[in-house]
Amino acid sequence: MLSIFSDEYFMKEALKEAQKAFNEDEVPVGAIVVCDNKIIARAHNMTERLNDVTAHAEMLAFTSATDFLGGKYLSECTLYVTLEPCVMCAGASYWTQLKKIVFAASDEKKGFERISPSLLHPKTQIVKGILETEAVKLIKSFFHKKRN
């Protein structure tokens, strides 16, 4: 049974956002920001819809979360994202001073850990691999659909 307020519970919520992106023909990445066990922001990739290369799920979630909190820092918050953040999103997370990043699938091509693992704020904790199978399946399905 899935316990409420677990990493798996919140990652399932991020996967719902990724499914929205998939349905909108966007790369299926979803993100949520959690503070005090409450989801304060939800987002999914919208780069095609907004014609904006910076409209990654994480970036949109950061904006929504800081608007909700009324300040620019997310030092008591956790980002749940279905794919390892890219360098841009990892850099933005540094400036928000996130407490923790939990991601499902590693991004072997563009993930920050392969390019510059020191991009995160020194206080930011990382947890990876939560519901990785589900996230990878959605991403592979999207790109398979694009190729065919």
Catalytic residues: 58
Q: Within 13 Å, how many C-alpha atoms sit on residue 16's CB side?
A: 9
Question: Measuring CA to CA, which residue among 5, 138, 146 is closest to residue 83?
Answer: 138
3-class DSSP state for residue 97?
coil
Question: Measuring CA to CA, which residue among 116, 87, 96, 26 is closest to residue 79?
Answer: 96
Which segments of 45-145 are extended strands (E)? 77-83, 100-105, 125-128
Question: Measuring CA to CA, which residue among 147, 62, 56, 63 is closest to residue 107?
Answer: 56
Token reading at 94: 């540094």
